[in-house]
Amino acid sequence: MNDTNEIRLDILSEFGLTENQAKVFIATTRLGNPTVSEIADESEVRREEVYRLLPELEKMGLVERLLGKPLRLKTPDPQSAIITLVNLEREKAKDRIAELSNKSKELIQSLGHQVIESSSEEILDSDFSLIQEKESIRVKIFEMISQATKHLDVMFTRTDLIWLISTQGEALQDAINRGVKIQLLSEPPSGRDRLPKIIRRRFPGDIEIHVKYILNPTAFYFIRDKNQLMFIASGAHHLPSGSCLWTDNMGLVTLTSSNFEEHWHASVHWKTIDGISLSVSPQDGSEGGSSHVHRILLYNSSDTKYKVLLNFLKIHFENGAMIIYVCGKDCIENVKEAMYNFGFDKKFINAQKQIRILGWDHLLLDDGSFNIEKSIDIWDEFYFESQDLGYNGLAIASEMKFFFDNNLIEELEGYEKQIHEMLTGQIEFKCAYDEKSILGTSQPLQLYAKLLGTHSILLTEESGTTKKTKT
C-alpha cells in the first residue's frame, strides 16, 4: 500500500469508517463505476466482505447502486461524500466537527486528484441509480444543487419542500448567487401557510426564489439543468424515508421537464394567496397528504401523564428524533427525575441537545406575555435546528397547565389551532391536559369540544390505563 492510501485510510478511520469500509470506498471512488469483483481486486478486500459492507456504506450515503447487470457501484463526488461523513460525526460528537472539517479538506483533495479516468469504450450504458437511505438522498440532493449551473425545477409535497428548504437552504442560496434559476412547485396549504415565513427566514430579501402552488400534482421530482432527474417513489410519506430513482436518461428527463412546465404555467404564485387561508382538503386533511400527528392526552394522575408522555418521547428518541418536554418552570427538575426513572440516560438529558426540557417561560415574549405567533416561530426554529443537526424529526410533549394557571383559555384555543395547522410529517405533538383543569373552566364542554377539534388522536385515562380514540 502506498503512502497516499495509508493517509486516506488514517483520515477515513477518524470519520468512523473501519479499515475495510475505507478500502472499499476508496476503490469505488478510484475506479468510477466498478463491479463488486473489480472493487475486491482493487481494495484487496474479499468479494464476500465487499457485499457485506455495501448496505453499511449505502446507509452512510457513500455508495450508490447502479441499476443493471452486473451490479455496479458509484460514489458521490468527494466533497459530497465528506460532507456526509461530517454530518454523521456531528450526531456522535459535536466537539469533533472542527477537527473533522480540517481533515476533510485533505481527503477531498486526495480523492479528487486520484480518480482513474475511464476510456470512452468503458463508459457504461446504465444511467439509473436507486437511492434508498436517508443520508444518500440528502447527499444526492446536495450534489445536484451544488453542481447546478442554470436551472433547478422541483415539484415536492409541502412536507418535503419544507424539509428541502430547512436542510438545503445554504446550498440553494449559493446556487441562486451563481445565477441558477430555482422554481419550486407544491400543493396549496390546507390552512395557515408556513412556507412564506420559512422562505423569508431562510433567504435574504434580495434573493429571488420562485414558488407556485398547484392542485393535484401528478408526480414528485427534482430536475437539475434539464439533464438530471431524481424521481420520488410513489407512496413515500416523506422524502428522506422513501426511495428515489436518479437518472440522466435524456428521454425521461425531457419528458419530466415538459410535465413540470405544464404544471408551472397552470399554477398560482404563492404571493397571490399569501395571507389567505384556503379551503383545500388534501388527502388525510393535511399538508402534503401526510396525516397530522397531534394527540391530546386527558389524565387525572401524574403517573399516567409521565408514563404516556415519556413513552412517546422515548420511541422518537430511539428513532433519532430531537425530543422536547415542555412544562412549568418549577416542574423542570421533577421532569428530569421522571425521565431518569423512565430509563433516559442522564448524560443525554444534561447535554440539552437531542433531549430538551423547557419551561413555558421559554416561549414567552420579553415582557412575560404569551403570543401565539411568537410561540409558533419558536417551534419552527426548533424544527430547523433538528434538521440542521441531522435528527430524524421533532417530537414535542407539552403539559398545558400553564394556560389554566394564567387564565389564557382563549389564547389556548388559538394556540392549539395554530399548532395543528403547522404540523408536518416531521413534527409531532402530544398535549397533556389535567381533566380537573378543563372541568374548572366556565364552559368546560365547549372547551372540550374545541380541543377535540384540533387534535387527531384522543388518549384518555381509564382505570390506570389509556384508551386511544380518533377524533
Per-residue pLDDT at 92: 58
pTM, to two decimals: 0.54
A 10 A CB-CB count for 344 gives 18
Residues 450 and 412: their CA atoms lie apart, in Å, by 10
- DSSP-derived 3-state class of residue 109: helix
pLDDT per residue over 357-377, tens digit each? 999 988 887 788 888 888 888
Mean pLDDT estimate for the chain = 78
Q: Of the candidates 82, 88, 76, which has an alpha carbon nearest to the alpha carbon of residue 103?
A: 82
Which residues are CB-contacts of 316 (< 8 A; sequence separation ≥ 6)?
323, 393, 395, 428
Burial of 361 (0-12, 13-18, 19+ CB in 10 A): exposed
Per-residue pLDDT at 155: 93
**What mean pLDDT do residues 256-265 have?**
88
> Which H or E run contains 385?
helix 372-388
Burial string for 420-444 (b: 16+ CB within 10 Å, else e) reads bbbbbbbbbbbbbbbeebbeeeeee
For residues 285 and 471, which has the higher predicted lDDT (pLDDT)?
471
Per-residue pLDDT at 327: 94
Find which of 83-92, 205-214, 272-281, 433-442 is predicted with most confidence, using mean pLDDT. Answer: 433-442
Which residues are CB-contacts of 184 (< 8 A; sequence separation ≥ 6)?
154, 155, 156, 161, 209, 210, 211, 212
Per-residue pLDDT at 119: 42
pLDDT per residue over 375-425, tens digit each? 888 888 888 788 778 788 899 999 999 999 999 999 998 898 888 777 655
Q: Which of left, alpha, beta for 186 (phi over 0: left; psi -120 to 50: alpha)?
A: beta
**What mean pLDDT do residues 344-368 have?**
89
Edge-to-edge strand list for the sheet holding 151-155: 72-74, 64-66, 128-131, 244-247, 228-232, 221-224, 151-155, 181-186, 210-213, 268-269
Q: Of the candidates 207, 331, 210, which has an alpha carbon nearest to the alpha carbon of residue 265?
A: 210
Taken in order of first residue, the domains within the chain and their CATH numbers are 1-124 (1.10.10.10), 127-281 (3.30.870.10), 292-470 (3.40.50.300)
Handedness of CA 282, 287, 288, 293 (dihedral sign): negative
Are the CB atoms for 404 and 437 separated by under 8 Å? yes
Are the CB atoms for 220 and 160 separated by under 8 Å? yes
Whether the predicted pLDDT of 100 surpasses 80: no
Local confidence band at 309 (pLDDT 50, 70, 90 cut-offs): very high
| Three cell numbers written together for 416 | 392549539
pLDDT per residue over 203-254, tens digit each? 877 677 788 888 878 788 999 999 999 988 754 446 666 678 888 888 888 8
Handedness of CA 266, 426, 201, 285 (dihedral sign): positive
For residues 379 and 195, which has the higher predicted lDDT (pLDDT)?
379
For residues 358 and 117, which has the higher predicted lDDT (pLDDT)?
358
